[in-house]
């Protein structure tokens, strides 16, 4: 857990090697955190995403960070939540693992995650938090990279869920 940090704030302002965005399959931006990252990165990000094409749920793709402080953006596609009985937990865990695998492949030492799939995709926040923390913790137990993982939460409810699960204080960006 010493390699995990909880931050309340705007993920687009974090000075890390990579920020993860909760992307849609088309990687073309949208609302929530994905829209904020696309706006912060500028039009170059959209151009690069267009050249990649589709990214299925449970997978991730990497692009440059463009105008963001982060060197890279990792686009992780989580599941649209139906009822939890259609593979959603496995797909969500897979999205986190795919992002971490890209981080390892690109020698990324610090990475920041938003709450994937909990916005318009409707994943219940407590269950999504549990999957995120369990998946990242298991990864860090077996891998050297990334050296630091930040869970960056934008709202109070998410911060409280992650703080309770991680049993650690929150910093503010």
34 is catalytic: yes
Query: Residues 39, 43, 45, CA angle at the centre, nearest 5°?
Result: 85
Q: Are the CB atoms for 23 and 52 separated by under 8 Å? A: no
Active-site hit among 34, 83, 141, 158: 34
The dihedral through the CA atoms of 133, 157, 155, 170 has a sign that is negative
Helix axes 88-105, 125-142, angle to 10 degrees: 40
Active site residues: 34
């Amino acid at each position: 857990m010493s390699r995990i940090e909880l931050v309340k704030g705007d993920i687009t302002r974090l000075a890390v090697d990579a920020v993860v965005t909760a992307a849609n399959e088309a990687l073309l931006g949208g609302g929530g955190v994905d829209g904020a990252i696309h706006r912060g990165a500028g039009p170059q990000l959209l151009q690069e995403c267009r050249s990649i094409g589709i990214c299925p749920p449970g997978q991730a793709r990497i692009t440059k960070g463009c105008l963001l402080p982060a060197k890279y953006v990792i686009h992780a596609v989580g599941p649209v939540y139906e009822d939890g009985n259609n593979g959603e937990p496995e797909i969500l865990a897979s999205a986190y693992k795919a992002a971490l695998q890209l981080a390892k492949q690109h020698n990324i030492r610090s990475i920041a995650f938003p709450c994937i799939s909990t916005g318009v995709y409707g994943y219940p926040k407590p269950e999504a938090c549990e999957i995120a923390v369990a998946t990242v913790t298991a990864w860090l137990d077996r891998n050297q990279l990334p050296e630091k993982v930040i869970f960056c939460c934008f709202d109070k409810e998410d911060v409280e869920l992650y703080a309770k699960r991680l049993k650690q204080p929150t910093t503010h960006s």
